[in-house]
Amino acid sequence: MDEVFDVLVIGGGHAGCEAASAAARLGSQTALVTLNLDLIGQMSCNPAVGGIAKGHLVREIDALGGIMGRVIDRTGIQFRLLNRSRGPAVQSPRAQADRALYRKEMRATLEATPNLHLRQGMVVDLLVKNGRIEGVEMQDGRKLASRAVVIAAGTFLNGLIHTGRRTYEAGRAGEPASIELAKSLRDLGFRVGRLKTGTPPRLDGRTIDWDAFDPQPPDEHPIAFSFSTDSISQLQLNCYVGYTTEKVHEAIRSNLQESPLYSGKIKGVGPRYCPSIEDKVVKFGEKNRHQLFLEPEGHDTNEVYLNGFSTSLPAELQQELIRMIPGMSEAKIIRPGYAIEYDFVDPRELGPDLQTERIAGLFHAGQINGTTGYEEAACQGLVAGINAARFLSSEGEFRLQRDESYIGVLVSDLITHGVDEPYRIFTSRAENRLALRHDNADERLQPHGRELGLVGDSDWERFNSRRDRIARFSQALENTRIRKSDKEYSALAAIAQGDLGDSMTLAQLSKRAGITPDIVRSLLPGDLAQTPFTLDFESALADSLYSGYLKSQHAVSARLRQHDSLKLPESFDYRGLAGLSHEMCDRLERSRPQTFGEVKRIPGLTPAALSTLLVRLMTQDPA
Amino acid sequence: MNTIVALATSVGRSAIGVLRLSGDDSLSILSKLTQSESDPDPGRAILRSIRDPRDRQLLDHALVTFFKAPHSFTGEDIVEISCHGSPIILRQLLDVILSLGARLAEPGEFTLRAMSNGKLNLSQAEAIRDLIDARTTGAARQAVRQIGGELSNRLAPLKDELLTLIVLLESSLEFAEDDLPELQATKVHEAIGLLRERLAGLAQTYDVGHWVADGIKATIAGRPNVGKSSLFNALVRFERAIVTEMPGTTRDSISEEINIKGIPVSLTDTAGIRQAKDHIETIGIERTHRAIADADLLLVVLDGTIELNEEDHLLLDQARTTRSVVVINKSDEPSFRNPNAANHPDVNPLVVSALTGSGLDKLRAAILAPFGSVDSEAVGLLVTNARHYDLLQRALEAVDSSSDLMAEKASEELVLVGLHDALRFIGEITGETTTEDILTQVFATFCIGK
């Protein structure tokens, strides 16, 4: 062996960066191996972080001690809180990134991390002995020893790019595909499938008639992703919104034979929520225009990302189509869009720690697990990195529950249901959506991060002060009453357009239509009305808004969990149970659950198998 | 899947007795019993000699039917062997089958296998149990409808409607950045109201439905010798209770079940109420009071040939405060005079003769009247199962809370709480709707994604 590490991470994308950073900070000598050190933290597709539910993930990553939130806070060029008009549980931060700056900042963050070693090169083989990982072999012949390996190879595994009828092997445009590593995974017996994703063309901003588009301004007061960020001070930019026309659609329709999607060349399944422009035109033929976002790629570049126009049509046709868009008659493409097919490994082969069941010490994170999105990848990298370090120190696995985090929802969805298209997070995937707010990710997860050892002293202190402030606000909301005799009463009743009774607490008042947070704030006693901690106050209000629903939701889930305490007999015979595959029987026999509740938490059990088991348990002789 | 066997008909002597096998080995066990190489045609009954393969002893001549997986009740290979209904032969044959590798089925295991192989959903499986337990044609008819999936079918459009609403609201939440049609709050609110009405309509059928399944308990009460037992016998149509001229003949309560328009009515004849003459009669009268308290319906019998006394009036008072029917018996007697029930204006007595049967048809109709004037053999699908009713009721409450929130213009994530809950509750009747199902519908409905 040429070098020896504790943990080795393959890939320097969003999953790989989090994995390497977490493992190193937990004390493991960690290597991050990547094809090109200058492209660490590269955003392969749109230059943005966050979005609905995705923003929640980033804040959870941050609360646990991950790095994505800090890096985007320093490099974001347009921050917006989405769904502002809706309840706080479904609001989510999003930011356009300066693509180059994000890479630079990410690399600097990794380089400043003790125990973390960057290595450039291509991994071509996994060294496995007796079902355990022992290291990797590089294309240049080096062998790196490591008892824990995280594969975070993104779209590089057997990557195949399509533009029009042309195809070529590549991991991203201009970078080589990872063919041998993909082969070694297949040789090890992993169940491998194909997925597809795509990206739109990038344009030269100097060739666009910007007046033809509607500006989309940034938020006046940007909401940061990281709980450690005081404020966003860098210059903020506009994005622009425009639309395609029937003429564009017509041209696409008459050239569908040029599209590898429609000629049958692409076999992999693409994400439904990121359809190509070809897909949009074909599947929603009745729509006479499709929305486009023009997103600047950074402060120091003319490059513009044409969000909404993902395509795998031939490059010269892309150029023609772009020119049909109003405001783009002179526009020039800098980089054409393309589709890419790549290998993924069935995530049902993983445990909740993202370790493969097949090979001890081998972890998978990001697109290899069938997900799409930087945020989805990053949170898996974090979970895998933490668990790789804990695997070596024989500490127990770290897992998050569905009811406490979107990360828990994502991991449990992946390992339980697998994927048949690229998996993206949605708020509707979380049963406990109302409790999982972006602004209370710290309340939910920072104690975990602290216990793991990823949250430092100053962040922990910051967390505790914020928690105290929220508690003071909450108390004041519950304990301060507005009474008929108060001078503000009649004005408030007029705003709320209704009877406020003899008296009500500020918490009750805040739920009335028309009553804004500012009004409630002005009614707080003493110095609370003036303290500058608006975000903390809003968190207290949100806690109060949802508290009643959370209680009744609790009752519903208690009903759904009412059978969890049913005991399984010691010698329970799963083989005799209809509807269970041999594989599931093996899993159950290995883990020997004691109660029905424990059975439910075993990944991979179908609802049908569960209800069969439940009926059996309920009809069994109680003796 | 290992192979199970059980007696499919009831234990005891009968014309035929049926053993049923389900599982992979059903066919090979059959071929050992019939010593036949060729497989029987699926779905066709054939006559075969059944022998014990160990000593080639002839056990019986039986009609055997093979149902090939997945076209069978359980979805597995099934073999049914119809023997002569001798408990001895059936026991012997069962032992032989067990020795050939099958195991005895646990209670409900055939249905369980049908469920887990996707042949039945939970409400269909429940309906099979209800059908076997059905005591009247009405109850049986309702159960058959549910086995056919009629309840699931009735719920399916409600579920679709719910799903459409969820998709609308979820899309507007999840894809705020996308170019979706503006959410029409008033339309959504109206649709929720409509859905509520349809759910309520279905839940309401339980008012009648539960009597169809559970039956009505009717207690006949009156003072001694007014003809309670005669009336009881007339209604059950045989001499079940002993009838004499002597007051106080009936010492203990007795019950029989009758079928009125498909609804099972459990009729209880009781000891007449009076100052008891001995200890046994005291106990009997206590039981009468208990039977009255337990009853869904009180049937007060008065004697039309004598004046009402204090006990009659006490019973009539009771009749006014509960579901009841009052009859004046002995219309066949010459001394019959319609006694004046004028001081009980709420009571509308029926005139009957237990002896001649006059007025009994009206009485039967009157017994059902307080339970919703319904002919269970004629009406549509009824919710008959308490669990289904409970779930529908919960779904209704959940939809109500969503409707209230829409009225308050609350944010979508709050309105959605009730809709998701409702879907979950309905799902407990018809089977689950997953998040994936919802997302699939979202992407089929809207053009989403940048």
**pLDDT digit string (tens) for B252-288?**
888 898 988 878 899 999 888 887 778 877 888 888 8
**Distances from the Cα of A500 to the Cαs of A1, A97, A478, A516, in angstroms?**
76, 47, 16, 16
Residue with the bigger pLDDT between B109 and A361: it is: A361
How long a stretch of residues is chain B? 450
**CA-based max dimension of chain A:** 84
Phi then psi for residue A519, to 5 deg, are -60, -50
Ranges A454-458, A480-484, A552-556, A569-573, most confident: A454-458
Q: How far does CA B293 lie from the centroid of its chain?
A: 24
Q: Provide the whole-model pTM.
A: 0.79
The answer to whether the Cβ–Cβ distance between B450 and A607 falls below 8 Å is no
CA atoms in the 13 A half-sphere facing the CB of A255 = 22
pLDDT at A461: 98
Residues of B in contact with A576 (CB under 8 A): 2
Would you say residue A240 has pLDDT above 80?
Answer: yes
Residue A4 pLDDT grade (very low, low, confident, very high; cuts 50, 70, 90): very high
Interface test with B, best of A214, A245, A273, A434 (most B CBs within 10 A): A273
Report the distance separating Cα A164 and Cα A440, nearest Å: 46
Q: What tens digit of pLDDT does each residue of B399-427 get?
A: 999 999 999 888 999 999 999 989 988 88
- Read out DSSP for B337-382? -----TT-TT--PEE--TTT-TTHHHHHHHHHGGG-S--TTTS---
CB contact under 8 A, A90 and B414: no
Asked if residue A321 lies in contact with residue A252, where contact means CB atoms within 8 angstroms, the answer is: yes
Q: Which residue has the higher pLDDT, A98 or B7?
A: A98
Interface contact flag, B435 A428, Cβ < 8 Å: yes
The ipTM is: 0.84
pLDDT digits (tens, 9 = 90+) for B355-412: 999 999 999 989 988 887 555 555 577 888 777 888 899 899 999 999 999 998 889 9
What pLDDT is attached to residue B340? 58
- The strand ranges marked E within A349-477 are 362-364
Q: Which residue(s) pair with A119 in the sheet?
A: A33
**Distance of CA A272 to CAs A606, B149, B229, Å?**
24, 33, 74
If phi > 0 it is left, if psi is from -120 to 50 it is alpha, else beta; for residue A298 that is left
**Once rounded to an integer, what is the mean pLDDT over residues A433-439?**
96
Cβ separation B117–A53 shorter than 8 A: no
**Contact indicator for A117, A34 with CB cutoff of 8 Å:** no
Give the chain A residue whose CA is nearest to the CA of B22: A578
Find the residue in B nearest to A425 (Cα). Answer: B174
- Report the C-alpha dihedral over residues A617, A618, A620, B1, rounded to 10 degrees: -50
Name, of A92-106, B181-195, B241-255, B311-325, the range with top average pLDDT: A92-106
Q: What is the pLDDT of residue B450?
A: 54
Query: With bands split at pLDDT 50, 70 and 90, how would you rate the model's confidence at B346?
Result: low
Alpha-carbon distance of A257 to A199, in angstroms, equals: 19
Is B443 within 8 Å of A293 when comparing Cβ atoms?
no
In degrees, rounded to 5, the angle at the alpha carbon of residue A495 between the alpha carbons of residues A491 and A499 is 80
A482, A506 contact by CB (below 8 A): yes
Closest CA to B419 of B175, B184, B193: B193
Smallest CA–CA distance from B120 into chain A, residue: A608
Confidence of residue A603 (pLDDT cuts 50, 70, 90): low
- ∠ CA B145-B149-B154 to the nearest 5 degrees? 90
Alpha-carbon distance of A379 to A58, in angstroms, equals 8
Q: How far apart are CA A392 and CA A181, in angstroms?
A: 24
Look up residue B95 and give its two tokens: 């032992």
Instruction: Dig out the tokens for B223 from the structure.
Output: 């003072």
Over its C-alpha atoms, chain B yields an Rg (Å, rounded) of: 30
Element containing residue B159 per DSSP (H, E): helix B150-174
